[in-house]
Amino acid sequence: MANFLAQFLSIKNSCERLVIAVEDVSDLWPLVKKGFEERVPFKRATLNNKTRNPVFVDNLPAEFILTTDARLRSRFPQEQLLFSFREPYATVILVTCEDLDEFKTILKPRLKLITQNDEREWFIVFVSRAPPHNDQATKLAKKVYARLEVDFSSKKRERCCKLDINGPEASFWEDLESKITECVRNTLDRRIQFYEEEIRKLSEQRFKPVWSFCNFFILKESLAFMFEMSHLHEDSLREYDELELCYLETVNIAGKQRDFGGMEHGDDQAALLNHQKKPLTQIVQDDSFREFEFRQYLFACQAKLLFKLNRPFEVASRGYSFVISFSKALALHESMLPFCLREVWIITSCLSLADATAARYSNGLVGPDIEREYYRVRGELYSLCRAKFMRLAYLLGYGSAIERSPVNSASLSMLPWPKPAIWPSVPADASSDVLAKEKMLLQVTPRVKHFGIQRKPLPLEPTFLLREANRRRASLSVGNASEIFDGRTTSIDGSGSAAAMSRTNSTPGSFESSIDRPMKLAEIIVAAEHALQKTISDPSLWASFSSLDEFEQKYLELSKSAAENYHNSWWKRHGVVLDGEIAAVCFKHGDYDLAAKSYEKVCALYSSEGWEDLLADVLPNLAECQKILNDQAGYLSSCIRLLSLDKGLFLSKERQAFQSEVVRLAHGEMEHPVPLDVSSLITFSGNSGPPLELCDGDPGILSVILWSGFPDDIMLESLSLTLNATSNADEGVKAIRSSGATILNPGRNTITLSLPPQKTGSYVLGVLTGQIGHLRFRSHRFARGGPAESDDLMSYEKPTRPILKVHKPRALVDLAAAVSSALLMNEPQWLGIIVKPINYSLKGAVLHIDTGPGLKIEESQPIEMEMYTYTDTSKSANGLNDKNNTSTDMETQLTLKDGSLELPGWASDITSVLWVPVRAINEGLARGTSAGTVSPERPSVVDGLRTVALKLEFGASHNQTFDQTIAVHFTNPFHVSTRVADKCSDGTLLLQVILHSQVKACLTIHDAWLDLQDGFVHTGQTDCRPTSAFFPLVVPSSSKAGILFSISLKTTVTEEEVKAMNPDSVLNIRYKIDGNRNLGSHTPMSVGTNGSEDDVTQLLTFKSAIVLQRPVLEPCLAVGFLPLPSGGLRVGQLFTMKWRVERLKYLEEENKQDEVQYEVNASSEHWMIAGRKQGHVPLSIKQGSRIEISILCVPLTAGYVRPPQLELPNIGEANISCNPAGPHLVCVFPPPLSSSYCIPAS
């Protein structure tokens, strides 16, 4: 079967469409040919794929060929089976007949003979040529067609269709297309089954010695080509995939040595997209094919199908995988291949794949994920091509033009050198080329980095080229082994030119390429150049190596293509890294603007990923571009970023150079000064201790830790720090500023800032701003304060712990009266004011005292202050602890100046009491009451109240104030009440005077006398003294004492005495008080307590007015309460309450009025009054006249309640006699019970 390979290829190249055979029985083809050929390709067809699933095919190609054509004649049966894909897929039989007898005798037997082959798919087209106006001919044609259908069609399948040339034909063409499609489908199914059976038979013999891959290939590709002609591209692609797997299995069978291929001229150019580059007959080898050409042929066929399926992204993906896998196969046979064929083939294959897929791809063709993956694969293709291109350029001596960047070093240092069997030798006539190369190597000088940064250059070679090339020579001269390893010490720093200088220090002599002498670097380069020129067959590719400019142009083109595709994929970081390589070329050619933009992208990537080692390699280049472009802001930022990198990446002198540039620009004149962000260089934090706590309105001193990353000291002309409130987002930012210049030392610095009063809340550090020279900077990064010994600890985490807490307005101090009991009225007393700081210092506090009306300060006496001690067992009424005793360790006498005094220092943080000498003034005379009255007219507490307004100014700058008004109660020592104890028969009255103590002190009465009002006289005593003189009389606190006076009424009073009559009696008491100022009333400070003075001078005098009334012996009116109803009172029942008023005598005060005013008072809760509550009733002025006052009442509540009372407002109580007196309480019964019941209807 392998002999048919050439014939198979010829048939395959000539066969492009499905063949539809035309059996022209009645010579009708010239008549219908145009109409038939206009219908191809078929717009819509349904075919079955290999798995017998229906597939819709658009534009199915087909070709109509007469059975008499030479292309369908003279074929051997074996050819028809082997190449059945070119055989007709359907047979169209064209017939016509106008006579039924002719059909039966001539046409029918011939059709039976044509259709007797069961393997052919056929159908009959009956062409009617009857004119429309000839009914007879039309009828005959219909009869003939009907008979044709009966004879050749069946219920299972219609095999006939009718074409009326002179009539409508729209439905015929649809019927024709469906029948052709049906025939093609059935034929295709049989042929697929045939090929599968043959392929299965060969597959079972695959591991036998007689098995031939060529036979398997012809069958497999015939099936694949048949699918391709039928537009079943998915099935065709699947066959090629299986064919490739089968071929790889045969290639890997051990024991068979095959020719790999790739030795012919032009094989360096990849044929991944050109399956017709070499005929298969040229690459056949025994029973198989050469691997180099055949694997590319298979991929080209696959790529062709994928392009037809409109899947260029899959071509790129498969192509990249194929390049990687095929390059490994090339590496295995590299010693037998031309020099650097592997590298050249990879370059051409990557470029062809990238160009072809880009030409056939349009955005939006696939989903976004597949699109990004497509661009990633294209980026990988360009990146691989770029790496191989640089490897060849390095071999040709362009290594000095390649940027020694991390990405280039990573690509080339891990890329092995070419491995030919023998390294190429220098041609005999290449002496001038060697001299030129040596001169070029000597002239190369490495570029010095900005800031004088010295770094070991990154390597661009896996091993020393000199050693590798000489090792692969046929033999080595042991005596010259030192030359082989000459580059070891000089290439450590990565400088290839320095190594070349050491190797080319002698003048080259003859270049016979003696095999005993090791080659020098220039000779290796020249030898590689001549060998590579023979390998590369593409003129455009070799032109890229013709000069340094051409190389850089091609290198830049590949780098830009790779970067652009990476940017469109999800490997954007790879694109940014390649932007750095583009920037290096732009910088070399003076395009600093474009270089700076690319370097900025690279630096941004390295910074975001935290790759500081890579950033330290690129950032100086960006700074140099910015300096050349006079971009002062960018240059400053780059210097700051260089200083922010890890200290181990640069030497100390290099870091100092960075700082000197910053200081130079900061103190110079910048055209457009911009704020500089030093967040990565200067960080800050609060102290490690608790936050500073202040009260609302308090200033303070805030201590902040600054971490400086500068290598030397640096001066900050100004410094400010903002505080952000954590509780209230709407609260504005508070800025605090330093008072002067600040010098930052490297590492940790502690500074203090004056803190103005802040509002309530918690504050965290915000933004640090300041000024270096004329340059303003800001930092918004936060450092975690570490231990004192770790000055280099820096963390950029935002703090959550507040640095300042300003508490809400609260009571910082409390001012209260020391005692709650009353002090003596009209006497000098010590007013105690307790000053209690509440977790707040009162250092330097000033107290302002302002007394209210009726109270004054005794300025003759000094103000005393002492410490106040507390007890835990009792608390006073005002919320402060009572005092057990007062410590005398801390006592101070203060002087009041303009109503103010300053508290001593010892009282700043402890509770103290301030004793102020005051006197409450009351010019009125105390008045006594009668003991028998129901509501005695005792003096009101409000009359003895006095107020003291206190204002305390405290805080760091007296910014805190506390206002408090203290109410102090003053009272007289006694309250006096009187009553007549007894009335003697001779008219003498015994007047008892009761003294109620009103102070918390012990009172001792030494003397008392009563100055009587007019109308009364003392009996028995002439000095107004009491009848019993048990003095001194001690009255304890809250106790009573009584004094008895004997008085009588004065019988006669003259007119002069009446005019000068004194209405009040005055009680005079001489007493002494024994009390403690910590408890209440006490001995006035003006009275000596040391016992040196006379006792008389220590006595105090108290006077009280007493009103004595002459008794009413004969009342003028009598009011009697009439009895209530005998049945008792019930709630809700109306009854009449009656009083009787009788005149006993005429009273001159009534002014002869013959009527009396009355008023009934009753509780509204207990009684409802139905009549008038008040009014006037007539009452004669004659003695004995009477009248009854009655009113209707309704009880509201049950129980004992007070009844309504009758009062006579115009008559004094002394002139009214209640006889009989009314009851105090009356009994009211509940309402009577009520019940109801139902009577049934009769």
Q: Is 1007 helix (H, G, I), strand (E, B) or coil?
A: strand
Give the Cα separation of 634 and 593 in Å (integer).
12
Helices (H) and strands (E) in the chain, counts: 29, 53
| Global model pTM greater than 0.85 | no
Are the C-beta atoms of residues 962 and 952 closer than 8 Å to each other?
A: yes
Using one digit for the tens of pLDDT, what is the confidence trace for 665-707?
888 877 777 778 888 888 888 877 888 888 877 788 888 888 8
pLDDT confidence tier of residue 1109, bands split at 50, 70 and 90: low
- More confident site: 954 or 934: 954
Give the Cα separation of 684 and 765 in Å (integer).
8
Residue whose C-alpha is closest to residue 51's, from 247, 172, 192, 224: 192
pLDDT confidence tier of residue 483, bands split at 50, 70 and 90: very low
**Predicted confidence (pLDDT) at residue 269 exceeds the cutoff of 50:** yes
List Cα–Cα distances, 979 to 986, 989, 990, 1107, in angstroms: 19, 10, 9, 11
Give the model's pLDDT for residue 1032.
87
User: Looking at beta carbons, which pairs linking 553-557 to residues 24 or more positions away fall under 8 Å?
Assistant: 554/389, 555/386, 555/389, 555/390, 555/393, 555/402, 555/585, 556/582, 556/585
Give the Cα separation of 455 and 494 in Å (integer).
10
Share of the chain above pLDDT 90, in %: 27
Using one digit for the tens of pLDDT, what is the confidence trace for 545-569?
999 999 999 999 999 999 999 999 9
- Within 8 A by CB and 6+ apart from 537, the residues are 265, 266, 268, 269
Residue whose C-alpha is closest to residue 36's, from 142, 161, 159: 161
**Predicted confidence (pLDDT) at residue 498 exceeds the cutoff of 70:** no
- More confident site: 789 or 964: 964
Mean of the per-residue pLDDT values of the chain: 82
List Cα–Cα distances, 1169 to 281, 1129, 1156, 1160, 1196, in angstroms: 141, 15, 20, 9, 10
Using one digit for the tens of pLDDT, what is the confidence trace for 155-181?
888 889 999 888 777 788 889 999 999
**Predicted confidence (pLDDT) at residue 500 exceeds the cutoff of 50:** no
3-state helix, strand, coil in the chain (%, to 5): 35, 25, 40
- Scan for tokens 């017939």, then name that residue: 95
Written as six digits, the tokens of 848 are 């302002």
Q: What one-character-per-residue DSSP string does 762-802 give?
A: EEEEEEEEEEETTEEEEE--B-----TT-TT----PPP-S-
Q: Length of the chain, please?
A: 1242
Amino acid at 642: L
**DSSP designation for 1226:** E
Q: What one-character-per-residue DSSP string does 1132-1156 give?
A: T--EEEEEEEEE-S--GGGTT--EE
- Within 8 A by CB and 6+ apart from 1092, the residues are none
Give the Cα separation of 618 and 612 in Å (integer).
10
Using one digit for the tens of pLDDT, what is the confidence trace for 325-364?
999 999 999 989 999 999 999 999 999 999 999 999 887 7
Give the Cα separation of 541 and 535 in Å (integer).
11
Give the Cα separation of 368 and 360 in Å (integer).
17
What's the average model confidence in pLDDT over 1168-1197?
Answer: 87
Using one digit for the tens of pLDDT, what is the confidence trace for 596-646?
999 999 999 998 888 889 898 899 999 999 999 988 888 888 998 899 888
Are the C-beta atoms of residues 520 and 470 closer than 8 Å to each other?
A: no
Residue whose C-alpha is closest to residue 440's, from 590, 581, 551, 556: 551
Lowest-confidence region among 738-752, 1147-1161, 1179-1193: 1147-1161
Q: Is 978 helix (H, G, I), strand (E, B) or coil?
A: strand
Q: What one-character-per-residue DSSP string does 526-593 give?
A: HHHHHHHHHH---HHHHHTTSSHHHHHHHHHHHHHHHHHHHHHSS-HHHHHHHHHHHHHHHHHTT-HH
Written as six digits, the tokens of 659 are 């700082």
What's the average model confidence in pLDDT over 1127-1140?
Answer: 88
- Scan for tokens 């002999």, then name that residue: 3
Give the model's pLDDT for residue 915.
93
Written as six digits, the tokens of 557 are 């083109």
Give the model's pLDDT for residue 882.
39
Class of residue 1240 by CB neighbours under 10 A (exposed 0-12, middle 13-18, buried 19+): exposed
- Give, for 701, the enclosing helix (H) or strand (E): strand 700-708
- Within 8 A by CB and 6+ apart from 1108, the residues are 978, 991, 1012, 1013, 1015, 1016, 1047, 1065
Class of residue 227 by CB neighbours under 10 A (exposed 0-12, middle 13-18, buried 19+): buried
Q: Is the dihedral of CA 71, 73, 76, 79 positive or negative?
A: positive
Are the C-beta atoms of residues 69 and 75 closer than 8 Å to each other?
A: no
Lowest-confidence region among 91-95, 1102-1106, 1112-1116: 1112-1116
Rg of the chain taking only CA atoms, in angstroms: 64
Give the model's pLDDT for residue 1143.
85
Q: Is 909 helix (H, G, I), strand (E, B) or coil?
A: coil
**Predicted confidence (pLDDT) at residue 576 exceeds the cutoff of 70:** yes
Written as six digits, the tokens of 1154 are 């013959």
Strand partners, 777: 676, 770
pLDDT confidence tier of residue 832, bands split at 50, 70 and 90: very high
Q: What one-character-per-residue DSSP string does 211-275 give?
A: --HHHHHHHHHHHHHHHHHTT-HHHHHHHHHHHHHHHHHHHT-TT--------STTTTS--TT-T
The secondary structure of 1042-1102, three-state, reads EEEEEEEECCCCCHHHHHCCCCCEEEEEEEEEECCCCCCCCCCCCCCCCCCCCHHHHCEEE
- Within 8 A by CB and 6+ apart from 681, the residues are 640, 643, 644, 708, 709, 710, 779
Where do runs of H (alpha helix) occur along 909-1068?
A: 1055-1059
Give the model's pLDDT for residue 272.
92
Q: What one-character-per-residue DSSP string does 577-605 give?
A: HHHHHHHHHHHHTT-HHHHHHHHHHHHHH
What's the average model confidence in pLDDT over 430-448?
Answer: 79
Lowest-confidence region among 48-52, 183-187, 449-453, 1019-1023: 1019-1023
- The torsion region of residue 503 among left (phi > 0), alpha (psi -120 to 50) and beta comes to alpha
Chain centroid offset of residue 872 CA = 52
Buried b (16+ CB within 10 A) or exposed e, 490-519: bbeebbbbbbbbebbeeeeeebebeeebbb
Using one digit for the tens of pLDDT, what is the confidence trace for 377-412?
999 999 999 999 999 999 998 888 888 888 889 888
Residue whose C-alpha is closest to residue 1011's, from 999, 1025, 995, 1028: 1025
**Predicted confidence (pLDDT) at residue 1113 exceeds the cutoff of 80:** no
What's the average model confidence in pLDDT over 509-538?
Answer: 77
- Give, for 1218, the enclosing helix (H) or strand (E): strand 1216-1218
Give the Cα separation of 962 and 815 in Å (integer).
9
